[in-house]
Structure 1
């Protein structure tokens, strides 16, 4: 039984001008102890798909899925009370923007100890000791006194570490990390990633890492899911993806890495991710793809088989054979 299993997840937002599909038919499978990276540009639906799993999207969102289960438990049918007993304990998330996720009216210590009180039933002294231990784990200096500070009294990087400490406080079975090292310098990034991987190993915790950093993906992930405009366009083991990407979008992402550049000017992907009013009728990547033809513009592609990374492209065979340039 998979730890997390999602089939055909779609998320639509109600806007003044109609419905906007932010996530379109995404599948995700995560086993216990596995590290899955989800990559893609801003606007590709990475965070929205995971917020849907957590039940944290606003009322304007309409979520549909053929299956969305956690440890075999159907997340679409549980009651709000049952969801509250899972979220924050068995399933936790590190949010991308700590300053908008932490409550400015309460100290960071109060906020981390509140989860320990509700989910773990710890008494006051045990909660305090555990909070100090967590702050030490994520590299917050002078941890005992820092518990009494408010979010606005700490830097963005420190608040990010507070968010990470809150997420791992109850030893979750599934941790979703949304750009967990964005506001941190390179040295601290490495420490935090090492901490997350160590926790994954010690607790057999499933870890979903949402990131733009392909270097982080190469160093940490076991499997990579590439999303574009709300769709999953490719998924492969990390070594296979870097060695042989099948979808043109994945190839373009990897070509833009500085270490892969063959000239002084880095390659770029022209255009932008389509929004509500400029979504192509066929392949969503077709306006930006060097291999696109009339079929791409008119007909939505279907995923290839697992041996070709389930790439969502009409021309995988031709591109692989070198017939298109």
Structure 2
């Protein structure tokens, strides 16, 4: 049985003239101990989809799904109290900005202790010993002294390590890392990623890694989900995705990697991810796709056209270019 099962997840936010769909039909099946990465540009709905799973979206958000289950329990019908018993204990999340995610009014030790006090039966001395152990596990020197430090007294890398310590405090079955290396320098990024990979191996956690860094994906993930403008456009094993990308957007992301550049000018994807008011009538990627045809601009895949009878437009690459339009099986 999958640890996390998502089918056709949709998230909408109210706007002046209705609702804006930030996540549109995302599906994911995650097994215990598996590492899955979700990639895409900013605005692709990666974080929103996982915040919906965690139940951390504002009450104004409208979340629907055919299936939304964690460890065999239906998250759609679960009471708020029951869900709070899972979040932070069995399911935890590391957020993008450690300096803004940690509460500046409380010490690191207090914030770790809060998670332990909420989800465990440990006494005060046991919780302090556990907090010291956690800080030591994530590589913070002199952990006992750091418990009394406030977030502003710690560097970005140390703050991120403290957030990881809070997330793993109750030995979660699932850890969601939302761009955990944002705003960190390159050497610290590598240390944080190594730390997450080590903790995942030692604890057997399932890990969902949200990122836009394809290099991180290649080194860490077993499977990859590619999202664009809220839609899931491709899912494949890491080896298959890097070896034979099947969607033009995936191919464009990979072509933009510096190590794959064949000229002095680094390839890029023109334009930006469509927002609320500039979404095209056809395929959402068609305005930026070098291989779009008139059928792509006329109607979304799966809604019109003789060849578009499936949800995903797939173009197998031939010599680095998409071949004739095909449809995902």
Please give the TM-score of this superposition, normalised by the length of structure 2: 0.92
Q: Is the 8 A contact 2:177 2:207 kept in 1?
A: yes
1:66-77 alignment, distance < 5 Å: 66-77=66-77
| 1:203 CA displacement | 2.5
**1:49 aligned to 2:49?**
yes
Partner of 2:307: none
SS in structure 2 of the partner of residue 233 of structure 1: strand
What displacement does 1:22 show? 0.5
> 2:8, 2:67 within 8 Å by CA — same for their partners in 1?
yes
* 1:163 aligned partner: 163
Give the alignment's Cα RMSD to 1 decimal: 2.0
Report the counterpart of residue 198 of structure 1 in structure 2: 198
SS in 2 for 1:259: helix
Which has the larger displacement, 311-320 or 175-184? 311-320
**Partner residue of 1:8?**
8
Are the structure 2 counterparts of residues 17 and 156 from structure 1 closer, same or farther at C-alpha, using a change threshold of 3 Å? farther
Q: Is residue 83 of structure 2 the alignment partner of residue 83 of structure 1? A: yes
Task: Evaluate the alpha carbon distance shift between residue 321 and residue 19 of structure 1 in structure 2; reply closer, same or farther with a 3 A threshold.
Answer: closer
Q: After TM superposition, give the deviation of residue 154 of structure 1 in Å.
A: 2.0
Following the alignment from structure 1 to structure 2, what is the Cα–Cα distance between the partners of residues 158 and 183? 13
- SS, match of residue 313 in structure 2: coil
> Does the 8 A contact of 1:256 with 1:267 survive in 2?
yes
Whether the 8 Å contact between 2:9 and 2:24 is mirrored in structure 1 is yes
Q: CA deviation at 1:316?
A: 4.6
Q: Residue 274 of structure 2 aligns with which residue?
A: 274
Residue 173 of structure 2 corresponds to: 173
Q: Establish whether residue 103 from structure 1 lines up as the match of residue 103 from structure 2.
A: yes
Counterpart residue number, 1:33: 33
2:248 and 2:315 in contact (8 A); partners too:
no
| Residues 240-293 of structure 1: per-residue CA shift (max 9 Å, x gap) | 100000000000000000000000110010110000011112211011001111
Instruction: Decide which moves more: 194-203 or 107-116.
Output: 194-203
| CA deviation after TM superposition for structure 1 residue 40, in Å | 0.3
Contact 2:245 2:316 in 1 (8 A): no
Report deviation, 1:153.
2.1
Secondary structure of the equivalent of 1:22?
strand
Number of the residue aligned with 1:241: 241
Q: After TM superposition, give the deviation of residue 317 of structure 1 in Å.
A: 8.3
Residue in 2 that maps onto 1:120: 120
Distance in 2, matches of 1:282 and 1:67, equals 27
Residues 76-97 of structure 1, C-alpha deviations (whole Å, 9 max, x = no match): 1001110011000000000012
User: What's the counterpart of residue 133 of structure 2?
Assistant: 133
Cα distance change of structure 1 residues 71 and 13 upon mapping to structure 2, 3 Å threshold: same
Structure 1 pair 19–317 and aligned structure 2 pair: CA distance change class (3 A): same
CA–CA distance in structure 1, aligned partners of residues 148 and 228 of structure 2: 42
Question: Could you say what secondary structure the match of 1:274 adopts?
Answer: coil
Q: Hey, what does 1:307 align to over in structure 2?
A: none
> TM-score by structure 1 length?
0.93
For 2:321 and 2:35, the matched residues in 1 are separated by: 28
Q: Is the 8 A contact 1:234 1:311 kept in 2?
A: no
Contact 2:3–2:72 under 8 Å retained in 1: yes
CA distance 1:90–1:97, change in 2 (3 Å): same
Deviation at 1:187, TM superposition (A): 3.3
